[in-house]
Amino acid sequence: MKTHRIAVIPGDGIGKEVVPEGLRVLDAAARRFGLGLAYEHFDWSCETYRKTGRMMPADGLDRLREFDAIFLGAVGYPGVPDHVSLWGLLIPIRRRFEQYACVRPIRLYPGLDSPLRDPAGLDLVVIRENVEGEYSEIGGRLYQGSEGELAVQESVFTRRGVDRILRHAFDLARTRRRRVTSATKSNGIIHTMPYWDERFAAIAAEYPDVSTDQFHIDILTAHFVLRPGRFDVVVGSNLFGDILSDLGAAVAGTIGIAPSANINPERKHPSMFEPVHGSAPDIAGKGVANPIAQILSGAMMLEHLGHGDAARAIEQAVESALGDRRLHTPDMGGRATTAELGAAIAGAL
């Protein structure tokens, strides 16, 4: 039996509450399917930043390199600016390990209410470009503090970066309902987005068996609310994919159930698995965060590590727990705690 080495980074806020539940369910899956999972815990977080001036040690990325996967909660806490916490940990991990494909599945679960009147058929995957686009440190500020102060931020869209994320989306669509929707904004953003559209058309031509359409991001958000069932795979830039994945999770019922995989498809480096949501300081410390996003991120990790059967068993355990309203956390309209729901899912396994 191969033992998979997993780096565990709970991070901040509810990350520290949902990661233990994620591990509890992974352990239950490991027992049932005879998997070897060896965890190493890292306390890298905003707390670490306040003590040391760094989110992670200078050699942090080198230490992560040897792992088979990274299991992360969330980072960010009031008192440390959000760009410091994200750019000090999460974004360097995604970039150094070329985790360019961010995969964010969203679907309806029986027993969980959507805020929509008609969410029928909602079952989609947002594919977010994860290492370039709008999230770039190219730019700067001038004349700070004066009347004439200004800020400039450049977006970066490379042929290599755009083509590979588009191909990832089309490849995935071939395993699903064979439909890819592109999120664009080529009416307003006149250089990068027409380029994105051009590459989308070029890559689509390589996949004649997959049907395509594209929408400007503004109306696409409206379609997510009004007709979510029409989408299969939705591919977008770093920013658009980020926005669509929170929106998609919300229309499915709560952001507390949405998992995410940051994949290095070439498997040259470890991939990272984390919920879509952040550290939720507004509910942190109360023990009421929904652990399902973290638990399903664990399922995506097992799938990536070659244990699709264990991943599906976790999804089934989540479904069976959601069928019992007494196990719903407050974001789902219930009164259960993080640990009660986590334990029930582990038990169902």
**For binding to ligand NAI (CB under 6 A), which residues are involved?**
14, 18, 74-76, 82, 86, 90, 255-256, 274, 277-283, 289-290, 293, 331
- Residues in 275-314 at the binding interface with Mg ion, rule: CB under 5 A: none
- Residues in 228-267 at the binding interface with Mg ion, rule: CB under 5 A: 242
Which residue lies nearest Mg ion, judged by its C-beta? 242
Q: Are 260 and 273 in contact (CB under 8 A)?
A: yes
Picking from 347, 349, 341, 348, the residue whose alpha carbon sits closest to that of residue 287 is 341
Of 59, 143, 268, 282, the active-site residue reads: 143
Q: State the Cα–Cα distance between residues 197 and 169, nearest whole angstrom.
A: 14
CB count within 10 Å of CB 152 equals 9
Q: Which is nearer to Mg ion, 3 or 153 (CB)?
A: 153
Q: Looking at residue 208, what DSSP letter applies?
A: T
Q: State the Cα–Cα distance between residues 90 and 75, nearest whole angstrom.
A: 8
Residue type at 278 in one-letter notation: G
Q: Is 185 a catalytic residue?
A: yes
Selection from Mg ion, ligand NAI, none that 75 binds (CB < 5 to 8 A by kind) is: ligand NAI
Q: Is 218 a catalytic residue?
A: yes
Q: How far is the CB of 172 from Mg ion (least distance, A)?
A: 20
Of 118, 218, 286, 309, the active-site residue reads: 218
Our finding on whether 274 is near Mg ion (CB under 5 A) is no
- Total number of residues that touch Mg ion (CB under 5 A): 1
Of 82, 113, 197, 246, the active-site residue reads: 246
Picking from 34, 102, 51, 30, the residue whose alpha carbon sits closest to that of residue 72 is 102
Q: How far is the CB of 190 from ligand NAI (least distance, A)?
A: 29
Selection from ligand NAI, Mg ion, none that 258 binds (CB < 5 to 8 A by kind) is: none
Our finding on whether 21 is near Mg ion (CB under 5 A) is no
CB count within 10 Å of CB 106 equals 26
Of 185, 207, 232, 331, the active-site residue reads: 185
Q: Is 242 a catalytic residue?
A: yes
Q: Are 13 and 281 in contact (CB under 8 A)?
A: yes
Q: How far is the CB of 72 from ligand NAI (least distance, A)?
A: 7
Our finding on whether 129 is near Mg ion (CB under 5 A) is no
Selection from ligand NAI, Mg ion, none that 242 binds (CB < 5 to 8 A by kind) is: Mg ion
Backbone angles phi, psi at 113, to 5 degrees: -80, 135
Q: Are 42 and 8 in contact (CB under 8 A)?
A: yes
Q: What's the CA angle centered on 287, arms 285 and 291, to 5 degrees?
A: 115
Q: How far is the CB of 104 from ligand NAI (least distance, A)?
A: 11
User: Could you report how far apart the first and last alpha carbons of the chain are, in Å?
Assistant: 21
* Interaction site with Mg ion (CB under 5 A): 242
Q: What residues are annotated to the active site? A: 143, 185, 218, 242, 246
